[in-house]
A and B are shown apart, each in its own frame.
Chain A
Amino acid sequence: MTSLLEVQGVTKRFGGLTANSEITFDANAGEIVGIIGPNGAGKSTLFDLITGFERADAGEVRLDGRRITGVRPDRICALGVGRTFQKLKPFADMTVAENVMVGALARTHRMREARDRALEALAFVDLLERRDRFARELSTGQRKRLELARALATGPRLILMDEVTGGVDQRTIPGLIELVLSLKARGLAVVLIEHNMAVMMRIADRILALHAGRRIAFGPPAEVRQDALVVDAYLGSADHAA
Chain B
Amino acid sequence: MADDPTLKLEAARAQPLWPRPPAWAVALGLAAGGFLIAYPAIFPSPFSLHLMIMIFLYALMAQSWNVMAGLSGQISLGHAMFFGIGAYAASVLFAKYGVSPWIGLLVGMAISALAAAAVGLPTLRLKGHYFAIATLLIGSGVQIVFSRWEWVGAASGLYIPIERTSPWLSFQFHGAKTPYYFLALGAAALGYLLVWHLRRTRFGFRLQAVRDEPEAAASLGVAVSGHKVLAFMLSGAMMSAAGTFYAQYVLVLDPERLFSLDISILVLLMTVLGGSGTLWGPALGAAILVPLSEYSRIWFGGTGRTVDLIVYGILIVLICMFRPRGLLSLIEDRLRRREGERA
Contacts and interface: CB of A to CB of B under 8 A. Distances in A.
A142 interface: no
Contact of B220 (A106, A112, A123): A106
A94 B220 contact: no
A81 B221 CA distance: 10
B216 A85 contact: yes
A103 B213 contact: no
A83 interface: yes
Contacts of A103: 220-221
B281 to A, nearest CB: 13
Given A77-B219, A105-B202, A132 B338 contact: yes
Contacts of B277: 93
A116 B209 CA distance: 19
Report, as a range, how many residues of chain A touch the other chain: 35 or more
B208 A93 contact: yes
B9 to A, nearest CB: 5
Interface in A144-199: 147, 150-151, 154
A90 B213 CA distance: 7
B17 A111 contact: yes
Nearest to A150: B220
Contact of B208 (A72, A91, A123): A91
A225 interface: no
Interface in A22-40: none
B12 interface: yes
Nearest to A120: B9
Given A102-B206, A128-B9, A132-B338, A77 B216 contact: no
Nearest to A115: B17
B5 interface: yes
B219 A73 contact: yes
Contacts of B217: 91, 102
24 contacts: A53-B218, A53-B219, A73-B218, A77-B220, A82-B219, A89-B212, A89-B215, A89-B216, A91-B212, A102-B205, A102-B206, A102-B220, A102-B222, A103-B220, A106-B221, A111-B17, A112-B17, A115-B17, A119-B12, A119-B13, A123-B9, A150-B216, A150-B220, A151-B219
